[in-house]
Chain A
Amino acid sequence: KQEVTQIPAALSVPEGENLVLNCSFTDSAIYNLQWFRQDPGKGLTSLLLIQSSQREQTSGRLNASLDKSSGRSTLYIAASQPGDSATYLCAVAPGNEKLTFGTGTRLTIIP
């Protein structure tokens, strides 16, 4: 059974710093990996989707990488801002509808 782990559960960094969030998964037979952000009391917002054949995806200050062989993905946030404060979740897709989600990293950017 696929397991997705996100460590640490919470992270605080000063504004302006670059940071990396981690996502690890136990079964490398995935179709894609998605990163989401969730603001308190809200739903999830899709940030980036990496196909299994890709190594990375970029959107603005965000860059996500995927290493299937090691079962790892990272989300890099450049020049962090207070508005980046949220919970970040990753999810792996096995090729069917049953995605497996991590429990997220709660990020706080300190002004």
Chain B
Amino acid sequence: NAGVTQTPKFQVLKTGQSMTLQCAQDMNHNSMYWYRQDPGMGLRLIYYSASEGTTDKGEVPNGYNVSRLNKREFSLRLESAAPSQTSVYFCASSKDRQGAVYSPLHFGNGTRLTVT
């Protein structure tokens, strides 16, 4: 029961470096999400893909890009990392959109990113 798998688990970057966070789900879910979690701020939505072939901005999209590669995979790219992007990043998926009848979120275990 893999669920939502994120790689890598940990990453340290220097300011200005780029990287891509990978996410894959094996539950045949239509919707996928990227969140960041910072102390005292709760989870904040970065980008989401309500269905294969579509992506939209969330609450804090600046400095990030995403690609919905296929139904299973949704990647998050930092083009030029900044210390303010130090955070824990979570990928999540759900069967349908959050406005659907019953569509709880399933989360991966996170990527802990430090930008120095």
Contacts and interface: CB of A to CB of B under 8 A. Distances in A.
Interface of A: 4, 31-32, 34, 36, 41-46, 49, 51, 89, 91, 93, 95-104
Contact of B97 (A46, A91, A97): A97
B4 A101 contact: no
Interface string B17-61: 000000000000001010000001111110010100000101100
A4 B42 contact: yes
B109 interface: yes
Nearest to A34: B104
Contacts, number: 69
Contact of A34 (B4, B44, B58, B105): B105
Nearest to B39: A103
Interface of B: 4, 31, 33, 40-45, 48, 50, 56, 58-59, 90, 92, 97-99, 101-110
User: Chain B interface secondary structure, helix, strand, loop or mixed?
Assistant: loop
Given A34-B105, A43-B90, A97-B50, A103 B98 contact: no
A96 B102 contact: no
Given A46-B104, A49-B102, A97 B45 contact: yes
Contacts of B56: 97
A36 B105 CA distance: 9
Contacts of B104: 34, 46, 49
Nearest to B50: A97
